[in-house]
Amino acid sequence: MLKHRGFPGRLAGTDYQFVIRRPNPKGVTPITERARFADRRPADRRADAGFMAALWRQFGDQPFERGNLDAGRLSWLFGREVLPATDPFDPASYEALLVIDEARARASFPGVLDD
């Protein structure tokens, strides 16, 4: 499992986790597409925006390996702002390649990618 050095471990001042420390001994948690509804809590929205900002700072528009990025946090963006970079895509692999859909990310998180 690739560890992304310099990537924030969590959203500052919260318990919203961005990375995992070690591989899951029971198997890789698959990335799934989670629906984001308009009535989500503001803290959840801040966590999504903070994670997207960290992804953009670290990887930009280049494909990146899932590695130690948290599957739960990725799942909130997967299928919209974060897309599979390869076909076939294995959602239960630490080596899976992902890419940010810049246009969709800018529309969903205005101002976040401008840093």
Reported as a single tens digit per residue, the pLDDT across 54-111 is 999 999 999 999 999 999 999 999 999 999 999 899 999 999 999 999 999 999 999 8
Residue 20 has pLDDT above 90, yes or no: no
Tell me, what's the pLDDT at 100?
96
Which pLDDT score is estimated for 10? Answer: 85
The reported pLDDT for the residue numbered 115 is: 60
The CA distance from 81 to 110, in Å, is: 12
Candidates 24, 17, 11; CA nearest to 73 is: 17
